[in-house]
Amino acid sequence: MGTQEQFEEEVLELLVDSKDLIVYNDDVNTFDHVITSLIEVCGHHPVQAEQCTWIIHHNGKCQVKRGEYEVLKPMCVGLLDRGISAMIE
């Protein structure tokens, strides 16, 4: 197998194994609470957290993080513990 083919196979494996952490809109949490939570729990930059919060507000949900399930699970639990609707898909 050539180097390019091996690289493409490794990239495909990463994409297949990747999951999305989705946050859903609700009528309970404030913008500030969601922004602060995305910064503290998911490691977002403040501008990124604010943009995700607006997407959640207008679209009903937003993919806030992508990665391996084991990495996303504690983030999802952290958001849920703060009363934020989140799911790994």
| Other CB atoms within 10 A of residue 61 CB | 15
Q: For 16-56, how does the pLDDT look when each residue is reduced to its tens digit (9 = 90+)?
A: 679 999 999 999 999 999 999 999 999 999 999 999 999 99
Percent of the chain with pLDDT over 90: 80
Contact 23, 82 (CB under 8 A): no
Residue 4 — pLDDT band, cuts 50, 70, 90?
Answer: confident
In the predicted structure, residue 75 carries a pLDDT above the cut 90: yes
| Residue spans of alpha helices (H) in the chain | 3-17, 31-42, 46-59, 69-81
Q: Which domains does the chain have, with CATH numbers?
A: 18-88 (3.30.1390.10)
Model pTM? 0.82
Q: What is the pLDDT of residue 3?
A: 76
